[in-house]
Every structure is written in C-alpha cells, then in structure tokens.
Amino acid sequence: MLHALEQRLGLRLSVLRVYCYGLCMGTADALPGVSGGTVALLLGFYGRLIAAVTALTPGRAIDVLRGYDSDRRGRAKEALLEMDLQFLLPLGVGMVTAVALIAGAVTALAESNPIALFGFFIGLIAASAVVLFRSLTFASARHALAAAAGTVLALLVAANVLQLPGSGAVLIFLSGGLAISAMILPGVSGSLILILLGQYVFLSSELTAFLQSLRDLAFGNGSLAGVLDPGTTVVVFVAGGVVGLVTIARVVRFALDRHRELTLLFLVGLIAGSIPAPLHEVAAAHALTGDVLALTAAWAVVGAVALFALDRLAGGFDPE
C-alpha cells in the first residue's frame, strides 16, 4: 500500500513539474524575442518535446479512436504511449495558462501604454537577434545569404509589402499554423510571428474577451452569444496551430536536420527583420513624433537589458 501511495505521489509530482515547464514555455512564447523552444532546451526537455510532437500523426490518432474495440485496445494504448500524452497534456495546460495570463496583461497595456509595451518588445526582439547571431557562425557566402533572406523577408512582411493570403478566419488560421510551429523552435517565438503578421494585439484581446465571457457565463452574468464571437476566433487559431504542428513544424524540423546552420541563420534573420514591426502598433496609437520615438527607444533599452540579463542567467543560447 505504501508503495502504491509513493507511486501516486511521484506521478502527481511529475505532472506538476511538467505543468510548471509549460508555464515557463508559455510565458516565453507569449513574449516576442523570447523562445519557448529555447526554454525547453535550457530545462532539458526539448528532445522529448520534439519526439512527442512528431509522434502526433493521423494514424496514431485513428488507433486511439478505435480503442473502443477490444481487439484494438492494445494498439490504442501503444499509440497513446508513443504520443506521450502524459507529458504533452500537462505541458499544454501550463502553456495555455501562461498565455492566457499574459494575453490579459498585453491587452490592458496595449490600450493604456502602447509606447512602453511595444518599445519593450522592440528591445526584446533586437537583443534576441544579437544573442542568437552571436552564437552562430558565418562560414561562407551561403550563410550570409540565408541570414539576409530571413531579414529581408521579415522586413517585407513588416512593411506590408508581402502579406498572407486571405483575411478574417483564413488569416487567423494561417497565423495559428505559423505561430504554433515557431513555438517549438529554439530561438523563434510564436508571439514574434504574430507581431510580424499584425495579429498579436488582436488575438490577445480576443483570447482575453473569450476567457472573460466564459467567466461571466459561469457566474450567470453573460450569454452564449458573448462566448461564441471571440470563441470562434480562438478555435480557428487553435485549429491552425494543430495543422501547423503536423505540417509546417515538420518541414522546419526536416530543414534543421538537413541544413541546420543555414536554417538557424534564416530563422534568426527573421527575428532581426522583425525589429521594427512593433512600431506599427505604436504608430496606431500615437503620431511618431520625436518625443514618442525617444520614449519608445528608452523602453527598447529596458527590454534589451532584460533579455541580455536573462541570457546571462540562462548561460547563453546553444544552437545545438
């Protein structure tokens, strides 16, 4: 009996530890310039994360759904173990918790003090690019071209010269696929992709509205209609993320396996080219006068110092 109690306690502690991992990873991914994938590397579970994500295949999902058949129950249990859901589920819940909390803060600050918020983000992104480029090498012209290609692509997207096809639900779906794919990559933040696409503030506010409407409904102060509008946006984004995890993320992982240095340089180039993207949000709230730009720059310094301090505490980024 004592052994059984110890096993249950060990299982609960393991779930709590993975949930805390998810909190850390979700917090990082909710802030541009800080990568959840890097947090996974630093905390030592990146390999398990990638193995679990790549194990999420339609075939295994079908095996699990067929578990109602007693003849297929053994295979269903095997598929569940292969997908490592006992790890992914508490990790995902932790990530969602952190993202939900930060989304509320972002929504409030975007309305009350956009200069401080997006200036801080500019500093995070710029310092992140410096830290990551410092850890990589430019051994040939191909390396320089890969970094330049990523930078130019991000600058074109930030300037609205290049845009994702479609709008509304299609754009949200594609944003979800790209952002959640980025979440599992070391060095690239999902929120950075959303800022680059101009969807970060909108999706943060929709998530906050969805959670608030659920709370109102639970306490008898809301309505189902109030839940459906922001809830539809959240569901479309999550659906895009699921598709992205089994498609885009696999393509990027394949590129990392075959051409690691070039892929990393391209990804870090994307970060560098995203540095001016938050200025769009500042410009939407204030005219870009000298005083506004100076204050934005001051907050960017704060963000850069925070990122450099975090990098120092973490012991640096290891691209391997």
Note the pLDDT tens digit of each residue in 149-205: 999 999 998 887 777 776 688 899 999 988 887 766 666 788 888 998 889 989 999
Q: How many CB atoms lie within 10 A of CB 158?
A: 21
Residue 19 token pair: 């949930």
d(CA 62, CA 59): 5
Residue from 67, 20, 12 nearest 39 by CA: 20
User: Residue type at 60?
Assistant: R
What are the CA-CA distances from residue 54 to residues 61, 249, 307 (Å)? 13, 9, 30
Which residue reads 């769009």 in tokens?
280
CB 24 within 8 Å of CB 56? no
Tell me, what's the pLDDT at 315? 61
More confident residue, 250 or 299: 299
Tell me, what's the pLDDT at 314? 61
pLDDT at 36 over 70: yes
